[in-house]
Amino acid sequence: MMKKSKIHLFYLIIVFTCYNQICLSQIKQQAETKSDSLTVTRPTDNQIIAYNNYFEQNYERHIDELIDLISYPSLSMQADHQNDLIEAAEFLKNKLINIGLEKSQINFSNGLPVVTSEYNQHIDQPTVLFYGHFDVQPVNREQWQNDPFKAEIRDGRLYGRGATDDKGPIIALITTLEALMTIDGKLPVNIKILLDGGEEIGSPHLPGWLADHKDWLKDIDFGINVDAAMYNDEQGLIWKGLRGASDIEVTLTSANTDLHSGIYGGVAPNAAVAASKVIASMYNDDGSVAIEGFYDDLKIFSDAEKIEIAASVDKNQEADELKKFEIDQWIGETEYTYTERTWIRGSMDVTGFKSGYTDGKASIIPHTAWFRIMTRLGPGQNPEKINSLIKSHIERNIPWGIQAGFKVSGMAEATVLNEGDLGYKIGKKVLTDFFGISPKILYIGGTVPALSFIPNAGGPDLVSIGFQRSDENFHADNEFMRIDSFKKGQRIYAQLLHAFVNQNRNHPK
């Protein structure tokens, strides 16, 4: 009798789970049907033909312009590349001027460039902000098949640092504006462009610039982030949420100089060992964060939201990536799934460590140790509070009276978009019309700081619409961009510009 009851209970659980998933699926389909009923303006058939012809006729020039932009080693994190960063900004400013945009200029904030431009010819049309970044990640030239700053095309792919993150999407956008200005003599809506020269280091300059330019933001109705992705060749993608980020550099000092390991070994405190003890204290045995209060403010997602998250990813991804990266096991909060840990939970990693002598053998006791901690913040976590918790934990756990110094930078909150927002609906509609299938709606573990900085400064939420692909090695060796994706991006941006025509404005002129 007991056995039959357990069997019945088992089947009831299965039925209930399936019913929940069916209901969720029906709700989602109804929402998508409602979204599909949104009316957007489309370019005419003749305009589409003319745009496509223009893109094909000017393909080589447009790709050459991208190759030219890639040639600038615009590394925002390295002071010796400051001139390259400024020259890349000059290149973009001149390109925007040449296609007929207004007020194209380079602004400096905390030494980093911000390129802005605008088109403001319509009294009765909304203003759309386009955001992208032109700084890039560092390179290990020995691991590249070509010079990372001399882009090469191989097998339909353009290889070069920044090709897909984010110089390719920026050039696709600018050349789309060029095509519409050339063929139609105008753009269908007003636009503003903000190209960031410091995204790869957390855009530390951007909040200050935005605070000083609230008038520039106040009449913007919609926002698009082109530092974004497609799901695959046949389906678009919109990020519903991104994690935030913060960065702390820690320097431990045990003496005023390195000491002789023979004379002072056994009595002098070792800064490298102290740093190791501190770092170890910040983690639990399962790899989750042991700092008191770290997880306290995270949003608690509902069962329905968790089902939605689970249904949006490949069930084999977790196992496939273990194999791909030759990792024995994943770490972290065991009560949350692999996807939940990377999308909606907070994480903390040591991203760099330096101490002692590493170029050979030296018999010393290191007197300093340096390490960097990067946190990825889930919805609800405040970067200032998290940094304060980390600093307090380190100070409580430093052994042997060693002194600690801290440098904090790159703080941004997590972003979660409202699917009812009109800009979100318009972006989704354009991608659905272009691909013939509704875009994937996913969270992402990465961070685009401007997506929280701009709304916090009074600007719009930014919908992420781009054509990067997850396998294109951005932030890694041999970064590339698919040429076909670049072409899709041009055509998507053309349709997107028309889709905002006559849409409700937040700031009537």
Q: What are the distances in angstroms from CA 135 to CA 47, 49, 324, 332, 387?
A: 34, 34, 29, 32, 26
How high does pLDDT run on average in the chain?
Answer: 92
Helices (H) and strands (E) in the chain, counts: 15, 18
What's the token pair of residue 406? 């801290």
Closest CA to 136 of 453, 479, 373: 479
Residue range 160-189: mean pLDDT, rounded? 98
- Write the CATH number of the domain with boundaries 247-299+344-412: 3.30.70.360
Q: How far apart are CA 138 and CA 389, in angstroms?
A: 30
φ and ψ at 220, to 5 degrees? -85, 130
Return the percentage of the chain with pLDDT > 90, whole number.
88
Architecture of domain 45-242+414-499: 3-Layer(aba) Sandwich (3.40)
pLDDT tens profile 318-351: 999 999 999 999 999 999 999 999 999 999 999 9
236-291 confidence digits (pLDDT tens): 999 999 999 999 999 999 999 999 999 999 999 999 999 999 999 999 999 999 99
Rounded to an integer, what distance in angstroms lies between the CA atom of residue 26 and that of residue 339? 23
Alpha-carbon span 306 to 344, nearest angstrom: 10
Confidence of residue 23 (pLDDT cuts 50, 70, 90): very low
Residue 506 pLDDT more than 90? Answer: no
Degrees, nearest 5: CA angle 186-189-192: 100
User: Are the beta carbons of 48 and 60 closer than 8 angstroms?
Assistant: no
Mean pLDDT of 170-184: 98
């330019």: which residue's tokens? 213
Contact call for residues 501 and 41 (beta carbons, < 8 A): yes
The H or E element containing residue 153 is: strand 152-154
On the question of pLDDT at 207 being above 70, the answer is: yes
Banded pLDDT at 218 (limits 50, 70, 90): very high
As a whole number, mean pLDDT of residues 464-470 equals: 95
The least confident of 5-19, 240-254, 379-393 is: 5-19
pLDDT tens digits for range 391-433: 999 999 999 999 999 999 878 999 999 999 999 999 999 999 9
Residue 494 confidence (pLDDT) above 90: yes
* pLDDT reported for residue 36: 56
pLDDT computed for residue 507 by the predictor: 62
Every domain of the chain and the residues it spans? 45-242+414-499, 247-299+344-412
Q: What is the mean pLDDT of residues 64-80?
A: 97
